Structure 1
Amino acid sequence: MPRKTANKVRKRKGKDLDEILEDLKPEKIAKLQNQEIDLDLPGDGQFYCVQCNRYFIDQATQKKHTGTKVHKQRLKALKAPAYTQKDAEAAGGLGTDE
């Protein structure tokens, strides 16, 4: 396998935007931000970015992450309206004439 495509195959994708929007609901976000200590996760699972679905080693690294381009792009993508089944059908020409 050529080098240029090897990383694309191995890259681990995080949660999809619709899954993250579900996690941003008040009852779930409180649970995710106050997790139990898990020694298998970075930073014992205490430093978590809900929007990016990432764990960090410490508070400084998490704070640094909030200023990065990747985090800002994720926030922008989450602000956009969700793509629905109705939109998909309308794009495919199956929508109703309203």
Structure 2
Amino acid sequence: MGNGPLAKTKGRRNKIKKYKRSIKLGRRPKDRDEIQTQIEKAEEAGKPIAFEYDDELPGGGQYYAIETGQHFTDAKALADHKKSRYFKKRAKELKEEKYTQESAEIYSGMTKEKLPPAHPVESNL
């Protein structure tokens, strides 16, 4: 192997912040609300979500899990994925409402946490 800065050594990119961020965000799955809007648009149009044959996508883009937003190489891989814990958890999340008033208040910081009293008053009757 070669010497110097271009040598392929283990961990050579471990301090490069741009590289770390691109790897982390490149593999990030779609968010729940993105998938829910995609499903809603498909229901409004009255057509199922389908892709044209594309050589760049795994399996030509024909085997797609809507709930997770992933493409698979063949029908067996898709069927195995649909049995997985990740798929079932994501499908359950998608059945919930997209946004609720309660979640909006929590994220905006409008709610106050109700704590029990620090020194409860004991009554002796």
- TM bin (shorter chain): 0.7 to 0.9
Residue equivalent to 1:20: 35
Residue equivalent to 2:90: 74
**Number of matched residues?**
87
| Distance in structure 1 (CA, Å) of the matches to 2:80 and 2:21 | 26
Q: Which stretches of structure 1, 4 residues or longer, exceed 4 Å deviation after superposition?
A: none
Cα distance, 1:58 vs structure 2: 0.4
Q: CA 1:89–1:24 in structure 2 vs 1: closer, same or farther (change >3 Å)?
A: closer
Judge conservation of contact 2:65–2:78 (CA < 8 Å) in 1. Answer: yes
Q: Give the RMSD, CA atoms, in angstroms.
A: 2.5
TM-score (norm 2): 0.58
Structure 1 spans left out of the alignment, 5+ residues: none
| Structure possessing the higher radius of gyration over alpha carbons | 2
Cα distance, 1:51 vs structure 2: 0.7
TM-score (norm 1): 0.72
The structure with more helix, counted as a fraction of residues: 1
Cα distance, 1:44 vs structure 2: 0.5
| Distance in structure 2 (CA, Å) of the matches to 1:52 and 1:69 | 12
Judge conservation of contact 1:51–1:74 (CA < 8 Å) in 2. Answer: yes
Which structure is higher in RCO with an 8 Å CA cutoff and minimum separation 6? 1
The within-5 A match list for 1:9-88 is 10-11=23-24, 12-25=27-40, 26=43, 27=45, 30=48, 32=49, 34-84=50-100, 86-88=101-103
Cα distance, 1:83 vs structure 2: 2.9
